[in-house]
Amino acid sequence: MPDSLPSSAGDSRFPPDSDLPTGEYAVTTAKPALESLMEITRRPPVIFVEGRGSWLFDREGRRYLDFVQGWAVNCLGHCPPEIVDAVTAQARRLINSSPAFHNEPSARLAEMITRNSCFQKVFFANSGAEANEGAIKLARKWGAKFRGGAFEIVTMEHSFHGRTLATMSASDKPQWRNLYEPKVPGFPRAPLNDLPAAAAMITEKTAAVLVEPIQGEAGVIPATDDYLRGLRTLTRERGVLLMVDEIQTGMGRTGRLFAYEHAGIEPDVMTLGKGMGGGVPLAALAAKEAVSVFEPGEQGGTFNGNLLVTAAGCAVMETLTRPGFLEAVVSAGEHLRGRLAALSAKRGLGEVRGRGLLLALVLGKDIAASVVERALRRGLLINAPVPDTLRFMPALTVSREEVDEMVEVLDLILRENPPYPDP
């Protein structure tokens, strides 16, 4: 080391070596302390140990009504027999062969997706961000091959696409604007539901337009069906891809298997995640055959499409496509919407937004975080994606009684909150 460089010894930015005894390893206790975990978000002290349907139980035995379900992940509720049986049966047979070989559950799941969507090809990933990262790569490869090296992807203001560096760059979360710089270039942003703005942003450098049918993290802001149809026409006319991020809206969440169906369009690329594995880490990138331009070696991953998670995915798809299942989601969604609208009218709150069982209630004041906190203390899990809005994403199997109970608890909390006394 040259003399001119300062030594890191004693400098708190550079950690010293720890003085571990060699050859001895510690065993943790039944109730471990939490200090060893990186604090990547503020978490309340509660620790859940069991779940059943719409209910969670903490280690003190208290029960909680869950209208978050791991961010719309546990689409069939906690520990549904379909998932438990599929995962245990698969675990007993074979957990992982190798990504270098085909396996039965991933082939079955891919076929179930292609037979029930407008896509012909599927790639499995381990998280939504990874699926979107794959979509970005696919669009860039397609642009390189068919559009003279076009690589830009027009994204939407307030969008959320994940936490890898490229998907953070494609997202528009205000808290991320100056984080982890420099970002990945090539993601111009248009306001949602503004077709002329999107049209103005498409240039010879554009490979694709990427949109969420409903912007979940932004506070459940729907892209209108007309806008999605307009985007489909526009992208066809201009010769660029239309990609939908259905990580939150897909897998029955809006009352159809995929939310693009509401608009009657066929996108070129779709990403899935969250509810797809019914609780296990599973996501997917689906594409039209003509857009499926990856060549061997250009995309992959160690855990991608492994038997355990795709077996869970098969169980989810089988359940969602059962006759009557999605009709029940639609009617549960209508019931929840009706109860939220009545609560809003009673307490003078704002609009109810969203579709199916992805709904939001606007409170009109920035108190959503405090409502969420009070709800937790009363045994109810809800979510506040933005300061003045509550989001509801219960199990797709939620009962009317559970919806009614949730709304009663919410009403109780709002009544205690100064701006919303009894009328």
Q: List, by residue number, the catalytic residues.
A: 160, 245, 274
- The CA distances from residue 104 to 123, 280, 344, 366, 408, in Å, are 14, 18, 49, 49, 46
Decide: is 129 part of the binding site for ligand PLP (CB under 6 A).
yes
Chain-centroid distance of CA 306 in Å reads: 20
Site mask for ligand PLP (CB under 6 A), range 274-313, x = bound: x---------------------------------------
Please pick, from the candidates 54, 69, 103, 127, the single residue that binds ligand PLP as defined by CB under 6 A.
Answer: 127
| Tokens encoding 165 | 């560096």
The rounded distance, in Å, linking the Cα atoms of 423 and 421 is: 6
Residues of span 230-269 touching ligand PLP by CB under 6 A: 245, 247-248
Structural contact between residues 349 and 399, judged by C-beta atoms closer than 8 angstroms = no
In sequence order, which residues have a C-beta less than 8 Å from that of residue 264 and are 6 or more positions away? Answer: 225, 229
Q: Which is nearer to ligand PLP, 217 or 268 (CB)?
A: 217
Q: Which is nearer to ligand PLP, 132 or 344 (CB)?
A: 132
Name the segment binding ligand PLP (CB under 6 A); options: 13-21, 122-130, 133-141, 367-375. Answer: 122-130
Chain-centroid distance of CA 128 in Å reads: 6
The rounded distance, in Å, linking the Cα atoms of 255 and 239 is: 31
Q: Tally Cβ neighbours within 10 Å of residue 222.
A: 22
Decide: is 152 part of the binding site for ligand PLP (CB under 6 A).
no
Cβ-closest position to ligand PLP: 128
Site mask for ligand PLP (CB under 6 A), range 209-228, x = bound: ---x---xx-----------
Q: Which is nearer to ligand PLP, 247 or 311 (CB)?
A: 247
The rounded distance, in Å, linking the Cα atoms of 87 and 226 is: 41
Name the segment binding ligand PLP (CB under 6 A); options: 128-136, 255-263, 297-305, 411-419. Answer: 128-136
User: At residue 33, what is the residue type?
Assistant: A
- The CA distances from residue 209 to 27, 136, 164, 201, in Å, are 51, 10, 19, 10
Please pick, from the candidates 222, 273, 277, 333, the single residue that binds ligand PLP as defined by CB under 6 A.
Answer: 273
Please pick, from the candidates 161, 256, 355, 391, the single residue that binds ligand PLP as defined by CB under 6 A.
Answer: 161
| Tokens encoding 7 | 């030594």
Name the segment binding ligand PLP (CB under 6 A); options: 18-26, 42-50, 125-133, 139-147. Answer: 125-133
List residues near ligand PLP by CB under 6 A.
Answer: 127-129, 132, 160-162, 212, 216-217, 245, 247-248, 273-274
